[in-house]
């Protein structure tokens, strides 16, 4: 393995250059320094510890909170030729022992471990005996008691520093406000760590929020008009609503699966696996689903209920568009959502301080929904990041809402907060503004203030909307440690001085107009490009089925799109595309090149294309077998069988000519195939396993092509 980070990036991961602060983090960690990395989802956090682990001597130990996450990452790394493994409760005992021995023998580059497993005496003893290059603590925000993903096991991870002070550590998260960052530093003992904050912006995601009218009808219109056939996630607040929504979507013709903590472990794992492995699956879920989901081509995240906080909203919507391609964050909300969430807060067993924090977060979430300005600017501001100009890619930027001039109301609100000493919450301030002369107001002398009764033109709901919006816009902040008192910020001064005007959203119960044109436009306007795109996806699907891995583990959509645009004609040109390293070039380069060449150039010429598969077919007709053709042409045997399988499917050759099997052997394969579940009968790996490896994948691929030919000719499913 090369020791230069750029060489590792190019040869292993297939990228030409680092993004943002990746190189700075990698250099710091490789040199032995601790780091805390805040980087948006899809920003390349994993490379920040994977590359140092490949450069430094020993094995990188990665703390990962979810089994699905570590399995997915290990599958991806193995495809890249990285020696990776995981330790969790899903492994049989013998396999666990093999992984442990490989760790001790220095045969692993990266070992993924769940926090509860890492804290056991056995694993601690293993770490003490092995050579460890670094500790990476993924999803570090799980350490925060204020967060929506709190994991008690994370609190104990400071022992890594206490027991192994010489091993560098890196904490990574995509979601952390200032309070959570401070808690990560404190709980994980990262006081001396260098902090790298790359910002929170996800420019490819379009944020869209509408009042809830008929939520199901709104959802199905959104799915049919903008995301037919796309994979996505629909979040609901309750398990009952998850089940009923998934059932309703299936009745409407969608491939929809439920996911919540009330399902059995087997059913949750089965549904999650289908979501990862299949195309176009929609998961309807509570917040129990999603953290660590690495599926890159999730094209939308929809909320049928209001999330509990902006942290939760950012985290959940961030599961869309990890590949950098356009994605939608769509939500409908209503007053009942607020009532339900508020009841959940009040009914919880948390102490009063925690409840005040949750109330503030809920108010900020609702204020975000009521914004009239750029949603992205407000979301980034919540996490302490300032964006100078509107994004142009949210509903408010594209279709500005009905507004009213709230400047005078905002000045009254801010003045009243100031006059009452910045010691009270919104409801008390509203009582003063509306001139309510109750016992408390009289006792405090607030009925004698100049702001008493100056806001009687608005009712309580309207004033609450004003306060939520000016909090969301950064003119007020909530001090939850002071019983939710409202405090002025520096940004409010121009408002008080009358130097700026404020436009506030009008409460409206009219259904928002349709967005009109689709955000996710048709990928290709050229029919030839679309045909190549579909062919590349079909090849990727076949390869993934053979190995029983998600299709994106082979290549992500973004890589396939680059293939369509660039039309590489040889391995050198193919390797120049982002995301294709040496290992994947070796494994899959010839097969993808064959498909590209078969489809010719964009002008429709196929002079180059016809040479690839046709040349293999011509040599076959001259009497060469697949092995001889592969040797003669310098191709892999898999590539040649791919050419011959396509010839079988088109009827250019017969199955028996290629595979050389007897009728009884073909009958044996067919009999076993019929015993498989219906959704697995055309997948290669289940058939290969059911036959105990008696016939090669290449032979089974040709037999499948034979079946496809007859299915297509007869029109049968």
> For the residues 145-150, what does the mean pLDDT come to?
56
H or E element: which one contains 299? strand 298-303
> For the residues 274-291, what does the mean pLDDT come to?
83
> For the residues 680-706, what does the mean pLDDT come to?
83
Give pLDDT, residue 135.
95
Compare 451 and 289 and report the one with higher pLDDT.
451
Summarised one tens digit per residue, pLDDT across range 328-340 is 999 998 767 876 7
Task: Name the band, by pLDDT with cuts 50, 70 and 90, for residue 697.
Answer: confident
Name the region of 290 (left: φ>0; alpha: ψ -120 to 50; beta: rest): left
Least reliable range by pLDDT among 72-86, 211-225, 265-279, 518-532 = 518-532
Residues composing the chain: 717
Asked if residue 606 has pLDDT above 90, the reply is no
Q: Are 453 and 419 in contact (CB under 8 A)?
A: no
Asked if residue 610 has pLDDT above 70, the reply is no
Alpha helices per DSSP H over 571-608? 571-575, 582-598
What pTM was estimated for this model as a whole?
Answer: 0.65
Give pLDDT, residue 508.
53
Asked if residue 126 has pLDDT above 70, the reply is yes
Summarised one tens digit per residue, pLDDT across range 343-378 is 788 788 878 888 888 888 888 888 888 888 899 999
Residue 387 corresponds to which tokens in the numbers above? Answer: 């964006």
> For the residues 206-224, what does the mean pLDDT come to?
91
Q: How many alpha carbons fall within 13 Å on the CB side of residue 180?
A: 26
Q: What is the CA radius of gyration of the chain?
A: 29
Summarised one tens digit per residue, pLDDT across range 459-494 is 988 898 888 788 878 898 877 667 778 999 999 999
Give pLDDT, residue 450.
95
C-alpha distance across the termini of the chain, in Å = 48
β-strands 485-488, 476-479 pairing:
antiparallel
What DSSP character marks residue 383? T
Residue 142 corresponds to which tokens in the numbers above? Answer: 């799980």
CA distance 9 to 106: 22
* C-alpha pair distances (Å), 128 with each of 44, 100, 102, 167: 30, 12, 15, 11
Sheet order of strands, 35-38 included: 84-87, 110-113, 59-63, 132-137, 169-173, 35-38, 194-197
Give pLDDT, residue 494.
93
Sheet order of strands, 327-333 included: 205-211, 327-333, 298-303, 231-235, 282-285, 256-259
> For the residues 287-305, what does the mean pLDDT come to?
81
Summarised one tens digit per residue, pLDDT across range 520-573 is 444 566 788 888 988 998 899 888 888 888 888 899 888 898 898 888 888 888
Give pLDDT, residue 717.
43
The SS3 call for residue 13 is helix
Give pLDDT, residue 510.
45
CA distance 38 to 150: 17
Task: Name the band, by pLDDT with cuts 50, 70 and 90, for residue 178.
Answer: confident
Task: Name the band, by pLDDT with cuts 50, 70 and 90, for residue 84.
Answer: very high
CA distance 216 to 225: 14
Q: Percent of the chain scored above 90 by pLDDT?
A: 34
Asked if residue 260 has pLDDT above 50, the reply is yes
Residues sharing a CB contact under 8 Å with residue 176, sequence separation 6 or more, in sequence order: 38, 140, 141, 144, 184, 383
> For the residues 183-203, what does the mean pLDDT come to?
87
DSSP-assigned beta bridge partners for residue 197: 38
Q: Are 234 and 282 in contact (CB under 8 A)?
A: yes
CA distance 284 to 189: 38
Task: Name the band, by pLDDT with cuts 50, 70 and 90, for residue 652.
Answer: confident
Q: Are 286 and 260 in contact (CB under 8 A)?
A: yes
Enumerate domains of the chain plus CATH numbers: 5-197 (3.40.50.300), 205-398 (3.40.50.300), 403-505 (1.10.10.10), 527-714 (no CATH)
Residues sharing a CB contact under 8 Å with residue 397, sequence separation 6 or more, in sequence order: 374, 375, 390, 391
CA distance 9 to 11: 6
Phi, psi of 145 (to 5 degrees): -70, -15
Give pLDDT, residue 660.
83
**DSSP-assigned states of every residue in 672-715:** HHHHS-GGGTT-HHHHHHHTTT-S-HHHHHHHHHHHHHHHHHHT
Summarised one tens digit per residue, pLDDT across range 16-44 is 889 889 999 999 999 999 999 988 877 78
Residue 98 corresponds to which tokens in the numbers above? Answer: 């093999």
> For the residues 421-445, what does the mean pLDDT come to?
93
CA distance 701 to 658: 11
Cβ count near 251 (within 10 Å): 9
Residues sharing a CB contact under 8 Å with residue 472, sequence separation 6 or more, in sequence order: 364, 367, 368, 370, 371, 378, 382
Compare 55 and 623 and report the one with higher pLDDT.
55
């Amino acid at each position: 393995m090369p020791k230069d980070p750029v060489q590792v990036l190019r040869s292993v991961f297939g990228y030409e250059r680092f993004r943002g602060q990746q190189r700075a983090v990698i250099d710091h960690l490789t040199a032995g320094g601790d780091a805390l990395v805040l980087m948006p989802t899809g920003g390349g956090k994993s490379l920040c510890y994977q590359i140092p682990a490949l450069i430094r001597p020993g094995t990188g130990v990665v703390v990962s909170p979810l089994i699905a996450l570590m399995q997915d990452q290990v599958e991806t790394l193995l495809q890249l030729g990285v020696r990776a493994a995981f330790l969790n409760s899903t492994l049989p005992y013998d396999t666990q022992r093999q992984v442990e021995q490989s760790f001790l023998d220095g045969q692993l580059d990266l070992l993924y471990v769940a926090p509860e497993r890492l804290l056991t005496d056995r694993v601690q003893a293993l770490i003490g005996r092995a050579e460890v290059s670094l500790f990476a603590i993924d999803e570090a925000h799980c350490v925060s008691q204020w967060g929506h993903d709190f994991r008690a096991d994370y609190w104990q991870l400071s022992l890594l520093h206490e027991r192994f002070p010489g091993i560098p550590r890196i904490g990574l998260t995509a979601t952390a406000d200032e309070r959570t960052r401070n808690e990560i530093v404190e709980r994980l003992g990262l006081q001396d760590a260098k902090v790298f904050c790359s910002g929170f912006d996800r420019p490819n995601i379009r944020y869209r929020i509408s009042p809830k009218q008929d939520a199901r009808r709104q959802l199905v219109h959104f799915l049919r008009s903008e995301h037919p056939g796309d994979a996505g996630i629909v979040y609901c607040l309750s398990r009952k609503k998850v089940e009923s929504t998934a059932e309703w979507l299936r009745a409407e013709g969608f491939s929809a699966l439920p996911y919540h903590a009330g399902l059995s472990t087997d059913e949750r794992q089965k549904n999650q696996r289908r979501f990862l492995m299949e195309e176009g699956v929609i998961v309807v879920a509570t917040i129990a689903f999603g953290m660590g989901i690495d599926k890159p081509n999730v094209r939308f995240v929809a909320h049928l209920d209001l999330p509990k906080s902006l942290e939760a909203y950012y985290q959940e919507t961030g599961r869309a568009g990890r590949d950098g391609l356009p994605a939608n964050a769509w939500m409908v909300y209503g007053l009942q959502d607020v009532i339900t969430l508020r009841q959940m807060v009040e009914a919880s067993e948390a102490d009063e301080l925690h409840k005040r924090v949750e109330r503030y977060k809920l108010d900020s979430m609702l204020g975000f929904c009521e914004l009239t300005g750029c949603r992205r600017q407000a979301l980034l501001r919540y996490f302490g990041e300032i964006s100078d100009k509107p994004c142009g890619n949210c509903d408010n930027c594209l279709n500005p809402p009905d507004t009213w001039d709230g400047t005078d109301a905002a000045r009254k609100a801010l003045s009243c907060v100031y006059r009452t000493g910045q010691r009270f919450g919104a409801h008390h301030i509203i009582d003063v503004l509306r001139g309510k002369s109750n016992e408390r107001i009289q006792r405090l002398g607030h009925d004698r203030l100049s702001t008493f009764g100056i806001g009687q033109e608005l009712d309580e709901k309207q004033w609450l909307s004003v306060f939520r919006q000016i909090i969301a816009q950064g003119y007020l902040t909530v001090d939850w440690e002071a019983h939710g008192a409202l405090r002025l910020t520096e940004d409010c001064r121009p408002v008080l001085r009358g130097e700026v005007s404020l436009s506030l959203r009008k409460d409206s119960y009219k259904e928002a107009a349709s967005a009109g044109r689709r955000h996710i436009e048709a990928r290709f306007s050229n029919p030839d490009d679309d045909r190549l795109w579909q062919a590349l996806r079909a090849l990727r699907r076949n390869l993934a089925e053979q190995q029983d891995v998600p299709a994106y583990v082979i290549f992500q959509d973004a890589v396939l799109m680059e293939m369509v645009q660039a039309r590489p004609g040889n391995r050198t040109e193919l390797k120049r595309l982002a995301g294709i390293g040496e290992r994947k070039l070796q494994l899959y380069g010839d097969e993808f090149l064959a498909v590209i060449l078969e489809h010719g150039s964009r002008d429709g010429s196929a002079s180059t294309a016809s040479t690839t598969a046709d040349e293999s077919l011509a040599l076959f007709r001259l009497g060469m077998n697949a092995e001889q053709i592969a040797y003669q042409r310098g191709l892999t045997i898999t590539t040649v069988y791919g050419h011959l399988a396509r010839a079988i499917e088109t009827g250019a050759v017969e199955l028996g000519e290629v595979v050389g099997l007897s009728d009884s052997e073909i009958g044996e394969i067919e009999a076993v195939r019929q015993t498989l579940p219906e959704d697995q009968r055309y997948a290669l790996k289940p058939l290969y396993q059911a036959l105990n490896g008696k016939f090669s994948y290449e032979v089974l691929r040709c037999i499948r092509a034979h079946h496809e030919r007859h299915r297509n000719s007869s029109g049968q499913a």
